Structure formats: C-alpha cells, structure tokens
Amino acid sequence: MVKAVITQPTYLPWMGYFGMIDAADIFVFFDDVQFVSRSWQCRNKIKTFDGAMWLSVPAAKESGQKIHEVKINNKLRWQDQHWKSIKHHYTKTPHFKKYESFFKEVYAQEWKSLSELNIAIIKRMAEILKLNVKFVNASELNAEGAKTDRLISVLQKIGADEYIANPASKCYIEPEKFEKAGISLYWYEFEHPSYQQQFGKFRSHLSAIDLLFNCGDKSIDLIREGGKNALVKNEGIKVIK
C-alpha cells in the first residue's frame, strides 16, 4: 500500500504539515492550483515578545496565477526583514545556533519563485527531522480534471492507493469517487501538543521553526505525538500507529 499526501507548498509551515509528511510515502506539492494572496502559501507566524508576528513573502503579482507561476517581489527586500525578525526573537532559544546557518543562507539568497522558496525550506526541514519520504511536484505530472477528479488523477499517476487528506478539504472532496477509484481515503486530524517556548504562555499553530529552535532533536517526537492518532479512515475509524 502506498500512502500519499497532496497539499500546497506553504511558507515556513506549522508542525502539523510535517506530521503529514511523516505519515506519507509520497508527498505531492500541489503547486499547480490557484495562488491565493494573504494565505499560508506566502506567510506564516512566529512568536515574539509581543505575541504572534506575521512574516509575509510579497508576490510580484497577486491574481490569476498558479502557485508555481508566482514570482517574488524582491524590490521590497523582504529577506532582510524576515531574517532580522527570526534572529532577534529566537537567538536565545536553546537550539537556534544549531540551525542558524541554514536559515541565514536561505535569506541571503534572492529567490525568484515562491514555490521554489517554500519547497526548498520544507525539504530541508524534513531532512533535519529525518523524515523519509518521496517528494513530487504536481506541476510535473500533467494531472487532469478539477477538485476530487484532479486529486485522483495525481494519485493514479504516482501509483498511490491510500490518500491522506487535510480535514479542511472536506468541503469539496467527494469520498465516493475515491471508493470508485479503489483508493482508501483518510483524514489527518493532528492534535497539537504543547512544548516549552519563550515569552510566556504557550501559543500553538506557529511556524515549525518555533518548534525546531525551542526543541531541537526532540521536535520529531513532538510531531509524532500530535500525529499519533491523527489518521481517521473516511468511515470514522481511527488508525493507531
């Protein structure tokens, strides 16, 4: 059985995103769907002295494009601002020094493509977390159809027979089509664990760099704690790892 996840490449994703990577044999970056400005595709949050802070990557054009077509507006020098904010608020965390060189290098580059930036960060963080998965870009598969039909087309092209979906997609996914195609459908219901953070009360659903800088090598254990009972078969049956 081959388990697959199909989801958009987001900027500095939260820890549940890496839980889905950990659950998959093949992880497909759904980069050939509509770009949405002010979405997770181009922004995420970190924790600061004053609470959560948004870090947003400026798009050169904000409508009518697929994610892999979006170019970054580098005239705004967003890299400097993001790196300065990350370094300022995380430099005293227990594990910042361990990962500093990678993130410093990311923000020293002039990225032209939003999806290339996101995917490069995601792959490197997955490597740091020692996640063993095959990554594929949907834009290279020439999948057909829309919504559920497109997902099934992607799954058939990569040879997957089990699909792990984000519960947020329940509003448009048609489960009966997966059954007809012989593909098992699961929902990934991540339970966000808490961990030791800076700056007072714990705040969830931040970028996973917050987890990494605070918890280091223990980050994967916390991700797996949140994903321990996350797989729920479409019939409502929980899959225990």
What confidence tens digit (pLDDT) does each residue in 161-199 have?
Answer: 999 999 989 888 999 999 999 999 999 999 999 999 999
Rounded Cα distance, 106 and 180, in Å: 44
Burial (CB count within 10 angstroms: exposed 0-12, middle 13-18, buried 19+), residue 193? middle
What pLDDT shows up at residue 139? 96
What pLDDT shows up at residue 236? 56
Mean pLDDT of the chain: 95
Q: What is the DSSP letter of 186?
A: E
Rounded Cα distance, 194 and 29, in Å: 27
Alpha helices by DSSP H, listed for 24-168, are: 78-90, 96-108, 114-128, 147-158
The mean per-residue pLDDT over the stretch 24-39 comes to: 95
Phi-psi category of residue 147: left, alpha or beta, with phi > 0 → left and psi -120 to 50 → alpha: left
The mean per-residue pLDDT over the stretch 74-87 comes to: 96
- Given pLDDT bands bounded at 50, 70 and 90, which one contains residue 23? very high
Q: Is the pLDDT of residue 64 over 90?
A: no
The mean per-residue pLDDT over the stretch 137-163 comes to: 95
Q: What is the identity of the amino acid at 151?
A: L
Least confident of 12-21, 59-68, 127-136: 59-68
Output the CA angle 50-52-53, nearest 5 degrees: 95
In the numeric block, which tokens belong to residue 225?
Answer: 């704690």
What pLDDT shows up at residue 61? 79
Backbone angles phi, psi at 35, to 5 degrees: -75, 140
Neighbours of 170 (CB within 10 A): 11
Q: Is the pLDDT of residue 239 over 70?
A: no
What pLDDT shows up at residue 191? 97
Phi-psi category of residue 210: left, alpha or beta, with phi > 0 → left and psi -120 to 50 → alpha: alpha
Would you say 157 and 181 are in contact if contact means Cβ atoms under 8 Å apart? Answer: no
Tell me what percent of the residues of the chain surpass a pLDDT of 70: 97
The H or E element that residue 26 is part of is strand 26-29
What pLDDT shows up at residue 114? 97
Least confident of 73-77, 133-137, 211-215, 219-223: 73-77
Least confident of 10-19, 49-58, 135-144, 228-237: 228-237
CA separation (Å) from 83 to 50, 77, 183, 197?
Answer: 18, 11, 42, 19
The mean per-residue pLDDT over the stretch 86-109 comes to: 97
Angle, nearest 10°, between helix axes 114-128 and 208-215?
A: 30
Rounded Cα distance, 86 and 228, in Å: 30
Q: Is the pLDDT of residue 126 over 90?
A: yes
What pLDDT shows up at residue 237? 52
Rounded Cα distance, 129 and 212, in Å: 9
What pLDDT shows up at residue 171? 87
Rounded Cα distance, 91 and 213, in Å: 9
Please name the residues in contact with 204: beta carbons below 8 A apart, sequence gap of 6 or more. Answer: 192, 194
